[in-house]
Amino acid sequence: MFNVTRRQALAGGGGLISSLLLPQRFARAAAGSTLNIAYNVNLPSFDPDVGPSSVNPTIQAIYRSIFDQYVGQKPNLAFEPGLLTGWGWSDDKSKVWMDVRQNVVWHDGSPFTPDDVIWSIQREGKPDGGNPVSFIWAGIDNFKVDGKRITADVKQYDPVLFKWMAFLTGYVLPKAYYEKVGPQGFEKKPIGTGPYMVDAYEGNAYLRLKANPKYWGGKPAFETVVFKFVPDATSRVAEIESGSSDVTLEVPYEEFDRLKGKAGLKGVVTPISDIGQIFITNGGVMDDKNVRLAMCHAVDKETIVKRLLRGHGVPIATLEAPEYAAFDPTIKVAYDPALAAKLLGASGYSKEKPVKFTIQTTRGFKPKDYEMIQAIVGMWRNVGIEANIEIYEIAKHFELRMSHKLAPAAFYNWGNAIGDPTTSTGFAMFSKSPHSAWHSDDLDAKIGPLWGEKDEKKRIQGWKDVDRYIAEQGYILPLLQYAQPILYKSDLKVTPNVSGALQPTLVSK
């Protein structure tokens, strides 16, 4: 069995990974039982590899219920076998190899084959195919199959390739079925190899799943799982308190603290790999370095975590959480309102003549997200910044971000379950990434060479240097590492997932 520590799982490079045989088994629950989950977001699409929703970390729990990924992840983020039982690089990094799991069937009963893996990677790698990170998957080509082993040539070396196979858009879809029914047919009746099969779906209302009796990882604990789409946090509290749902997540922390000890309920709150941050979009007043730095120095993150989040969270200064491979605790951005006012004054702004812009935020997507932004706007006002708050749904955020039309400031929750700096700082800040808000040549020049750096020590130090430069320039405003609150009925057992994905396979009786 392949065992690594959490740190090793997060920090490991793209080296040889082998002898991976079996996944972590699911806990068991009473047969024929139903699990009702009051979920915090809707499901925009059943395609886990294409479109803006495919890179939304929050809906990965749903995707992981229906589909399987190339590489799996345990709740502590350690990598484990998925539809690949082994994978790695040739010694000179010119080729990759992947061993495909045997005796797996799709939900329609047809066999899973190496061709499904190859087709999925090629589909994900098409530059015009709708995959937001197609350049990751396009880095390997010229596939060959020998029994259960696939080999491919490396067109462009990416040290994070196999980590991506356990991350966003890293799902395997059925080649023959998809080509038969097409994208629209797949949306109407999606199939995967995952632990659950789609039984019924009502957009913006619910998704009902049935256990896959032929799942290669063993039949899951619950016969039926219902994801109720409840974006409003107050409504999720009502769902769990009334008993209408068995488990929910991302509720306000004061409600979590109130309900976790109530008869019939339990709760767990755990630090996860998500970072709350404010994107800064270049252009207009944000091209003024003094304004950006003033925004950063005016925010009292410690007070926000202590008072608004009741201590549940870790203030941070970069896009690297403490568990990430490139975390550097020496990078600090002090809370200094006097410095913030001085910086604004140097650019001609003051409380009497404030700099003005719009900040966008979700409301109820994460605990106290809107309230945090309200508090930050108040802190800004005290130094000479007047920000108008605009509320949007998370789906709208993705739409605006990928078209580079976000407001000058925009709150977002960045998930990085594989903990690599490319999937935090890299994709959030490199202008050629579809996920960045800040675009500038100076930053691109520092990030660009790191994408293909083969020396792991040099690569990680390079990302630390980039994080320091970003903090010095005020190109983004990181706020905190989140702690995820989960409430559930006391007769259940819930295994928290450091990725934040509340997967039904991690709940049992």
Q: What are the tens digits of pLDDT across the range 114-137?
A: 999 999 999 999 998 999 889 899
Spell 378-395 as b/e; 16+ CB within 10 A means b.
ebbeebbbebebeebebe
The domain segmentation of the chain, as residue ranges, is 26-221+492-508, 271-484
Mean pLDDT of all residues in 238-254: 96
Looking at the predicted structure, is the pLDDT value of residue 47 above 50?
Answer: yes
Quick check: 175 pLDDT over 80?
yes
Q: Taking a C-beta distance cutoff of 8 angstroms, is the pair 437, 401 a contact? A: yes
Per CATH, the number for 26-221+492-508 is 3.40.190.10
Average pLDDT, the chain: 92
Fold held by 271-484? Dipeptide-binding Protein; domain 3 (3.10.105)
Please tell me the predicted confidence (pLDDT) of residue 250: 92
Considering only CA atoms, which of 233, 254, 267, 255 is closest in space to residue 307? 254
pLDDT for 406: 96
pLDDT recorded at residue 10: 34
Q: Is the pLDDT of residue 326 over 50?
A: yes
Q: How far apart are alpha carbons 163 and 324 in whole angstroms?
A: 13
Separation of alpha carbons 391 and 444, rounded Å: 30
> Do residues 120 and 49 lie in contact, with contact meaning Cβ atoms separated by under 8 Å?
yes
Sheet containing 84-89: give its strands across.
Answer: 84-89, 95-100, 149-154, 140-146
Integer CA distances (angstroms), 508 to 39, 263, 419, in order: 17, 19, 28
Are 477 and 379 spatial neighbours (Cβ–Cβ below 8 Å)?
no
> What six digits make up the tokens of 279?
């994107």
**Distance (Å, rounded) from C-alpha 480 to C-alpha 240?**
27
Provide the pLDDT for residue 9: 34
Look-up of token digits 């769902």: 239
Q: What do you get for the CA distance between the two ends of the chain, in Å?
A: 27
Sign of the alpha-carbon torsion through 387, 388, 393, 396: negative
pLDDT of residue 151: 98
pLDDT in tens, 179-190: 999 999 999 999
Inter-helix orientation angle 289-297/337-346, to 10°: 170
Q: How large is the greatest C-alpha to C-alpha distance in the chain, in angstroms?
A: 73
Answer whether residue 21 shows pLDDT above 50.
Answer: no
pLDDT in tens, 432-490: 888 899 999 999 999 999 998 989 999 999 999 999 999 999 999 999 999 999 999 99
Place of tokens 């992981």: 64
Q: Give residue 422's pLDDT.
A: 94
Q: What is the pLDDT of residues 80-90, one digit of tens each?
A: 999 999 999 99
Tokens of 303: 């007070």
| pTM strictly above 0.85 | no
183 membership: H or E segment, kind and range: helix 175-188
Indicate the angle between helix axes 289-297 and 456-473, nearest 10 degrees.
Answer: 100
State the Cα–Cα distance between residues 45 and 295, nearest whole angstrom. Answer: 36
**What is residue 56's predicted lDDT score, i.e. its pLDDT?**
85
> Burial of 103 by CB count in 10 Å (0-12 exposed, 13-18 middle, 19+ buried)?
exposed
**H or E segment at 275?**
strand 265-280
What is the reported pLDDT for 31? 39
- Would you tell me how many other CB atoms lie within 10 Å of the CB of residue 440? 14
